[in-house]
Structure 1
Amino acid sequence: MRKLILLLFCFLLIIPSEAWGDTTENGLQAAFIRNGYLWIKIGVAEEQITAEPGEFTNTPKWSYDGQWLLYEKEAQESHSPDMENRTEIWVYNVKSKKHKRIFQGGGNAKWAPSDYRIAFTSNGVLNISDLDQFHNIALGVDDYNWYPDGKSFIVSSSAVLKPDGWTSPTLYKVQLPAELENMNLTHHVKPFFTIPKEIGSGNATIMSINATALEFSPDGKWISFIVSPTASLAMDSDMVCVISSNGKNFEVLDEMILHLDVPKWAPGRNLLGYIAGGGRIVMGFKNKKLKVAELPAFKTLNLTPAKFAEMGFTWVDNERLVASRVDESEWSNDPQKRPEPTLCLIQLSKAQQTRITYPKNSIGDYNPLYLKTAGKLTWIRKKLAEQKGDLWIAELSGKNAKLWAKDVEKYSFYENSGQKSGS
């Protein structure tokens, strides 16, 4: 009997520790770009799913059930000499391991909330594909998003320059008919809201040219979006805005910049998180504060302590967030002298903020992403100037941190609840 127990004990010592890991971690499903190829990783198994290198123009996106992957890449050669957009839209089926091209010359593709339809734009035209054929939906579209029920779109048209100056960007609601064959490109479109030609917050004012990053609140009663001026000015000053779902209440919340992080709603409350502050990063790691606005009260809470700046964030639940935070400092042309961020856990209901990651000097933790169904925190560990980095995973407390995938660029996770997350 003693020999049997001893043998069993030795057997347990030989088994790799990973075999006794958290089963939720073993079920993680992600897609990412690595060295010009598209990869998926399910559990511990990595698989390269594209055979030729390419330029991927957007983050890969999982369908609502995780069976399909949507991705966009530059075409090897243009099918038409006058084609402006050479981006191809593809899907990949996880079970059959087959790829299918949906469209060439389109982009900004997004899955419907609960089926296999894909919306995308091409030369200002909004379209829907059922993976076999596509239908034109609306004209003059700059950006868009599905309504949560998948039966309508909120779309924006950009301002245009006329002899007497710029027009205003406008929001529209596009109602889908029961049969897309009956779609009329103008009859199903209703004006939703005309954005004022100039908007501002505090001492900052911008021309309103584009409205992008349209997102619905958890209860569907509010829509957040970013209003930007012309391209060069948009590097330094944009405005995060909200509007009620009936189009009657419009508010400019704060100044922000593009290229750090987009506004994000809490999972189950009308709390909008965003990084406030104008001025591109090369003007200094400063004036970038993580704020949370509560709607419809329009109460705003600043979560960033003095002498710190934020680079990105993720919601954990309705009461907690994780921020990618740096010490305030001036910009340096020497990459070794630039501050690199660490991750900090923030609790709204308490005056409590805790640093949870400790990367080595001259490297930082970016793009935090909390995976609700797995109960894990993920992030990219890299240098600011680098496009790719290593994907790490840990407990929310930062404990048991480990490398999950190397040399990752654009990536997204599928969660069994039907939520897709990515960066």
Structure 2
Amino acid sequence: MPIKIFLFMMLFIFQFISVTKAEVQLKAAFVRDHQLWMKEGDYEIQLTKDKYVYSPKWSYDGRFIAYINGDEQGEKSNLWMYDTEKKESYEPYHSIETHSFTWSPVSNELAYLSGWVLNVTKMKDGRPYGFQNVSLGVSGFEWYPNGKEFIVSASSNRLPTGWEPIKLYRIPKDMNLNEKKAELLYSIPIDENDIFAVTVGDFKWSHDGKWFSFLGTPTPSWAMDSNPLCVLSFDGKVFQDIGRMLGFSDWFKWAPHANQLAYISGEGRFFVENKMTKIAEIKASTKQVEYTPKGYVDLDLEWLSPSKVIVARSQENKAWEEGPVPTMFTSLFEIDLGSVTQNQITFPKENELDVDPEAVGSYLIWVRRQDETHKSNVLIRHEKQNEARIWIEDVDFSPVIFKE
């Protein structure tokens, strides 16, 4: 009998350890009171002081966090990094000003735009330091999945004959300003009555690297109401105009295991109506399905799994015509693409709204904001649990989760 009890206890302990190891301890960078913080599991630590931090981004291996040290007026945008091993912030080069920067998918190299110049960081003593010029005339960019090349865009110019095409190029990261190394990938014809944009950006790769999506930006007043969402094959041979939407990068996302692109369609700068979740099947010809019921608007989305999408949804407010723009009090809904059933899964209190859903492994994470104070808490729920809990309190923006 004692042997049986011992074996039973060992089996129980082994199963418990296996389940514990299977769960990844989540790690996030976030901003509180304009300072950079990090949270790992239930432990959090402040990383900066006397700065004005926004846009933190993890390096591919999680050692570095790149961020912008700005100011309240928006006149400063200096690039800084935090080294989690040496526990210090530093500038990779003195006074780099940028609003567009992205880590390599395969190494601790950071690419960034300074004006119209694309640069990539060098390495010194195991961390990014200094920079190398890559290309001039760049308005938008993204790494190729191999970490050796970039997609870059060149803005359109207004000519006496009309708007010139927007050009997309494939360039190596070691181009070193050698224009002969640039390969024209695709030229987008611009028509104010069809596809109208001055530049394109927010490039995102499909899961298999065969397609990438991007968002066009027209002239400033037009961009407030309508932006073209497009898709191009990796070799530049197949171009598709997917639809029109507002200029929010989080409003279009690729499925985790299929060439499906979910996005929130609809023109008009106000959120009160005409914002609908659609999913486009990206093939030789594009098929689209709309999922937002009549009388509602969707204002954010996330793939929970290959067959489920989370949206932040509110009722329309067509009665509003003038005065302060009303807050749309969203809660999260789960759309099952197989059965087409849709269920509300979060229930914020009055004057609260749930936004920015993000799926990480077995967890769903989102931000709950109080409308009057704009105070935000990060909530988290495991797929096997019915109740959510507060994971991070009092954040300025949505956290950036490190994904291995």
1:272–1:294 CA contact under 8 A, matched in 2: yes
Which residue of the other structure, out of 90, 93, 96, is the alignment partner of 2:83? Answer: 93
| Aligned counterpart for 1:159 among listed residues 141, 149, 156 | 156
Q: Map Cα deviations across residues 321-340 of structure 1 (whole Å, 9 max, x no partner).
A: 11101111134778896430
CA distance in 2, matches of 1:358, 1:398: 15
Mapping 1:261-410, distance limit 5 Å: 261-281=250-270, 284-296=271-283, 297-330=285-318, 331=320, 338-372=327-361, 375-383=362-370, 389-396=376-383, 399-410=386-397
Rate the CA distance shift 1:367–1:75 in 2: closer, same or farther, 3 A. Answer: closer
Between the aligned partners of 2:40 and 2:268, the Cα distance in structure 1 is: 40
Q: Once the 2 structures are TM-superposed, how far is the Cα of residue 118 of structure 1 from its aligned partner?
A: 0.4
Which sits farther off after the overlay, 324-333 or 31-40?
324-333
- Preserved contact between residue 128 and residue 134 of structure 1 (Cα < 8 Å): yes
Deviation at 1:208, TM superposition (A): 2.1
1:219 is aligned to 2:208: yes
Q: Work out whether residues 85 and 105 of structure 1, in 8 Å CA contact, stay in contact via their aligned partners in 2.
A: no
* 1:272, distance to aligned residue in structure 2 (A): 0.5
Which residue number in structure 2 is paired with residue 72 of structure 1? 68
Distance 1:311 1:29, change over 3 A: same
Task: Tell me which amino acid in the other structure corresponds to 1:189.
Answer: A
In the alignment, which residue of structure 2 is the partner of 1:13? none
Structure 1 residues 152 and 308: alpha-carbon distance in aligned structure 2, compared to 1, 3 A threshold: same
Instruction: Quote the Cα distance in structure 2 between the aligned partners of 1:347 and 1:319.
Output: 6
AA of the residue aligned to 1:191: L
Alignment match, 1:45:
43
Deviation at 1:72, TM superposition (A): 1.3
Q: 1:273 to 1:339 in 2, by over 3 A?
A: same
1:125 partner letter: V
Is the CA contact (8 Å cut-off) linking 1:137 and 1:183 kept in structure 2? yes
Q: CA 1:376–1:335 in structure 2 vs 1: closer, same or farther (change >3 Å)?
A: farther
The answer for the alignment partner of 1:128 in structure 2 is 120
Root-mean-square deviation over aligned CA pairs: 2.6
Letter aligned with residue 273 of structure 1:
A
Change (3 A) 1:316 1:210: same
Q: For residues 28-66 of structure 1, what are the alpha-carbon distances to aligned partners after superposition, in whole Å with 9 as ceiling and x for unaligned?
A: 110111111111111111111101131x342x1111221
Residue 297 of structure 2 aligns to a residue whose secondary structure is strand
Distance 2:100 2:272 in 1: 30
CA distance in 1 between partners of 2:259 and 2:209 (Å): 9
How far off its partner does 1:107 sit?
3.2
- What letter corresponds to residue 44 of structure 1 in structure 2? D
Counterpart amino acid of residue 91 in structure 1: M
Whether the 8 Å contact between 2:379 and 2:392 is mirrored in structure 1 is yes
CA distance in structure 1 between the aligned counterparts of 2:356 and 2:383, rounded to whole angstroms: 14
Aligned equivalent of 1:80 = none
For structure 1, which segment, 376-385 or 86-95, has the greater mean C-alpha deviation from structure 2 after superposition?
376-385
Structure 2 Cα separation of the partners of residues 30 and 311 of structure 1: 23
CA distance in 2, matches of 1:248, 1:64: 30
Structure 1 residues without counterparts, runs of 5 or longer: 1-20, 78-83, 419-423
Aligned to 2:179: 186
- Secondary structure, counterpart of 2:223 in structure 1: helix
- CA contact 1:118–1:129 (8 Å) conserved in 2: yes
What's the TM-score, normalizing by structure 2?
Answer: 0.86
Letter in 1 for 2:245: M
| Sequence identity (%) | 32
Does the 8 Å CA contact 1:324/1:343 hold for their aligned counterparts? yes
TM superposition shift of 1:248 = 1.7
Q: 2:51–2:69: 8 Å Cα contact kept in structure 1?
A: no
**Structure 2: runs of 5 or more not aligned:** 1-18, 123-127
TM-score (norm 1): 0.83
Question: What's the secondary structure of 2:220's corresponding residue?
Answer: coil
| Cα distance in structure 2, aligned partners of 1:232 and 1:385 | 29
2:239 to 250, 265, 273: 250
In the TM superposition, residue 91 of structure 1 has moved relative to its aligned partner by 1.4
Q: What code does the residue aligned with 1:99 have?
A: S
Aligned partner (choices 60, 63, 71) of residue 59 of structure 2? 63
For 1:377 and 1:94, locate their aligned partners in 2 and report how far apart those are by CA, in whole Å. Answer: 26
The CA deviation string for residues 284-320 of structure 1, in whole angstroms up to 9 with x for no partner, is: 5211111111111411111111111101011112111
Alignment partner of 1:141 is 2:138: yes
In 2, the alpha carbon distance for the partners of 1:108 and 1:345 equals 32
Give 1:209's match in structure 2, choosing from 183, 198, 201: 198
